[in-house]
Amino acid sequence: MKLLLIEDNPAMQTTLARSFERRGMQVVLCADGTKALSRWQASVPDVVILDLSLPGQDGLQVLSAARAEGLATPVLILTARGTVGDRILGLDTGADDYLAKPFDLDELEARVRALARRTRGSASEAASGAAFCGLAVDASSGAVYQHGRPLDLSAREAALLRALLARPGHAVAKERLTDVVFAGEAGVQADAIEVVVYRLRKKLVGSGTVLVTLRGLGYLLKADAAAEPASGPHEAAP
């Protein structure tokens, strides 16, 4: 597993790098917010650990720019800002998990491994090059594109869309999607998937695809009839 650790505190950086390397992980380091995006693009990590207080650009600016570039790597925010408002802001910007300082190293490792498992599991759901109505999955990165442009999705939203793109037009059970989107996470609420569905549905508006809820069956993707060109007038019968 390759981690990108974006953290400007030298002592914290050293401690975390040594801890993860002892656990067999490869760690790429970055201490500057202005360089973080290019390092992210160059390293192709499995998980990003991101501090919010960085020189140059803060962590939320880095995260927002990365999502705008279509980088769907799972992100765990690691910061001293531990208020509920800070957590909500981080998650809404595109983070996948949040751990406030001080923290337990074993818990941090468990969360990182859970994010990596979820990404690998959801990628296996989608066939290589899966595509539907202009939406296409990049099999190497797991990113989803709309007519060649990357969609701005969180890792959970991307995991959900990849799973649905694997079977467009067919219902996928809510329980199955929950397993894919929240793979390896304990204590997931039964309705947690509905929040991800709601956010993804809004982002698909205008894409030519709609996310449909089938009560008792699950969810499916189908072509948006409203986006299809109207047929021409019928010829009058002779």
pLDDT band at 47 (very low <50, low <70, confident <90, very high): very high
Q: Which residue has the tokens 């079977």?
A: 167
The mean pLDDT of 3-24, rounded to a whole number, is 93
Question: Which has the minimum average pLDDT: 4-13, 108-117, 183-192?
Answer: 183-192
The mean pLDDT of 3-28, rounded to a whole number, is 93
pTM of the model: 0.54
Q: How far is CA 90 from CA 17, 94, 131, 182, in A?
A: 23, 7, 30, 18
Query: Is the pLDDT reported for residue 6 higher than 90?
Result: yes
Question: CB within 8 A of 230, min separation 6: which ones?
Answer: none
Nearest C-alpha neighbor of 136 from the set 165, 172, 160 = 165
**Angle at the Cα of 197 (from 193 to 199), degrees rounded to 5?**
120
pLDDT of residue 128: 44
Comparing 199 with 142, which gets the higher pLDDT?
Answer: 199
Task: Specify the CATH number of the domain 128-227.
Answer: 1.10.10.10
Question: CB within 8 A of 72, min separation 6: which ones?
Answer: 141, 142, 143, 144, 153, 154, 155, 158
| Residues β-bridged to residue 135 | 132, 146
Report whether 159 contacts 180 (CB < 8 A). yes
Query: Is the pLDDT reported for residue 129 higher than 60?
Result: no
Task: Specify the CATH number of the domain 2-119.
Answer: 3.40.50.2300
Question: How do the domains of the chain map onto residue ranges?
Answer: 2-119, 128-227
pLDDT of residue 227: 57
pLDDT of residue 126: 41
> Cα separation of 187 and 184, whole Å?
10
Query: Is the pLDDT reported for residue 83 higher than 90?
Result: no
CA 8 remoteness from chain centre: 24
